[in-house]
Amino acid sequence: MSSSNQHQFRYTQTPSKVLHFRNLPWECSEEELADLCSPFGKIVNTKCNVGANRNQAFVEFVDLNQAISMVSYYAASSEPAQVRGKSVYIQYSNRHEIVNSKGPGDVPGNVLLVTFEGVEAGDVTIDIIHLVFSAFGFVHKIATFEKTAGFQALIQFTDAETASSARNALDGRSVPRYLLPENVGSCNLRISYSAHTDLNIKFQSNRSRDYTNPMLPVNQTAIDSALQRKELESNVLLATIENMQYAVTVEVLNTVFSAFGTVQKIAIFEKNGQTQALIQYPDVTIAAAAKEALEGHNIYDGGYCKLHLTYSRHTDLNVKAFSEKSRDYTVLNPSLHPAWQNTQAAPMYPGLQGQMPSWDPNHQDVTQSYLSAPGTFPSGQAVPPIPGYSPAAAPPSGASPHSHMPPGSFSDASPPGIQPYYG
């Protein structure tokens, strides 16, 4: 449709003091609409984020002539109305006033209805839902189910104020990627208020949970779900590394993960803008112990290089290259790879199970790494003691941080119980 036809379309409509705005930026605010409309008159009401894509809105002026003035101005202007750089289309609405008759999903309450977009039932567990929403207050109950809209959950808080804070913070946001399975790209949250005030939870299960009644009987489905999760465990861990202020090489990861058993293979790669790594152990038991102990912990003191761990669907990595990004420690014959010819197996670290390659003076950017001090762990909780393993507060003085790291961030002292090994 030509520009002149669009202008004619506006004029042929019956004028109304309510204007209809299309092609707005996603979740355009009332303040942004006011900035656009206030030069033409006084606004008495707005209705934002209308339509399937939440990119439409209605604005009601106090007087019909003010609405006509705005439509006429942009109909005659060579420059379209814009919000955040997007061209906005304006026309008269077929309504003559905005009635704020809030639907059930708009009336604040203590129970939220959450739709998880982009996932299927089972991709987001009830424990993950509890983790995400309990950041805003005590979660009383959760009930999950599947409807035509997709996978949904009802989440009950103590009061409407707590529920509102969770809704305002999370609506339209995504579940953190490290909490999702490998096969899920993203999971967006769509949140409205429920008419429920107190959920009727009859069983603790993988579908429903009552956190106020620990004596509630456990449904058999919860046991079945636990068994299914056990089957999904793997001897290969997928590590997502946040806050990458230091280069993380295979030597760094081998030092950290070999505290729990012999590391067989490591592969580091970039995915969705994040640094990730696959770490292979001989069996699931070792991988499970490492996952439980290292989840949420930092490789370096100060919150740097934070680990988030899930089980991988892989069971045996196909590692071909010998580099800072990949290593196969099960290859013992140096003739199989030229890069291995001058590399000797390093002695065991005191207190550590498993081996790591000897330090190569030609690789100046290789850094040693230790787990961060107990004080850096989430929620201020100390790491549970691991037999034969002593965490360190900071990387040794020979570490090679990125140039933008603040000076004096580390201690030169070696961690207790672990003496640095320099080949």
pLDDT given for residue 226 in this prediction: 53
In a domain, 123, yes or no: yes
Residues 113, 214 share a domain: yes
Beta bridge partners, 240, equal 276, 308
pLDDT given for residue 111 in this prediction: 95
Quote the CA–CA distance of 47 and 99 in Å, as a whole number.
9
pLDDT given for residue 100 in this prediction: 62
Show the CA angle centred on residue 94, arms to residues 92 and 98, nearest 5°. 90
Residues 312, 358 share a domain: yes
CA trace torsion 411, 414, 415, 420 (10° rounding): 140
pLDDT given for residue 92 in this prediction: 92
Residues 224, 240 share a domain: no
The helix (run of H) or strand (run of E) holding residue 322 is: none
Cβ neighbours of residue 257 under 8 Å, at least 6 residues apart?
237, 263, 266, 279, 281, 290, 294
Residues 193, 74 share a domain: no
Digits of tens for pLDDT over the chain (423 positions)? Answer: 444 444 434 445 789 999 999 999 887 888 888 889 989 999 888 888 887 677 889 999 999 999 999 999 998 888 889 998 899 999 998 888 887 655 555 788 999 999 998 888 778 989 899 999 999 999 999 999 887 778 999 999 999 999 999 999 999 888 888 888 877 778 889 999 998 899 988 888 888 899 999 888 887 555 555 555 555 788 999 999 988 888 888 999 999 999 899 999 999 998 877 899 999 999 988 998 999 889 888 888 888 898 999 888 888 998 877 888 899 988 876 455 544 444 433 333 333 333 333 333 333 333 333 333 333 333 333 434 444 333 433 554 444 443 333 333 333 333 333 333 322
In a domain, 420, yes or no: no
In a domain, 71, yes or no: yes
Coil/strand/helix, residue 38: helix
**Which one of 228, 246, 273 terminates a domain?**
228
In a domain, 354, yes or no: yes
Residues 338, 243 share a domain: yes
**Which one of 228, 244, 262 terminates a domain?**
228
pLDDT given for residue 192 in this prediction: 92
Cα–Cα distance list, 333 to 69, 319, 338 (Å):
83, 15, 10
Residues 158, 287 share a domain: no
In a domain, 386, yes or no: no
Backbone angles phi, psi at 78, to 5 degrees: -80, -15
Residues 265, 359 share a domain: yes
Helix axes 284-294, 250-257, angle to 10 degrees: 100
Residues 240, 376 share a domain: yes
How many structural domains is the chain composed of? Answer: 3
Residues 216, 168 share a domain: yes
In a domain, 399, yes or no: no
Cα–Cα distance list, 34 to 38, 40, 47, 62 (Å):
5, 10, 12, 13
pLDDT given for residue 186 in this prediction: 83
In a domain, 389, yes or no: no
Quote the CA–CA distance of 346 and 422 in Å, as a whole number.
10
- Type of residue numbered 15: P
List the domain range (segments joined by +) for residue 83. Answer: 3-92
Encode burial over 278-288: b for 16+ CB neighbours within 10 A, e otherwise: bbbbeebebbb
pLDDT given for residue 28 in this prediction: 83
End-to-end CA distance of the chain: 73
Q: Kindly report the pTM of this predicted structure.
A: 0.36
Question: Are 75 and 19 a contacting pair, CB within 8 Å?
Answer: no
Is residue 36 classed exposed, middle or buried when 0-12, 13-18 and 19+ CB atoms within 10 A define those classes? buried
pLDDT given for residue 180 in this prediction: 84
Coil/strand/helix, residue 260: helix
Residues 161, 272 share a domain: no
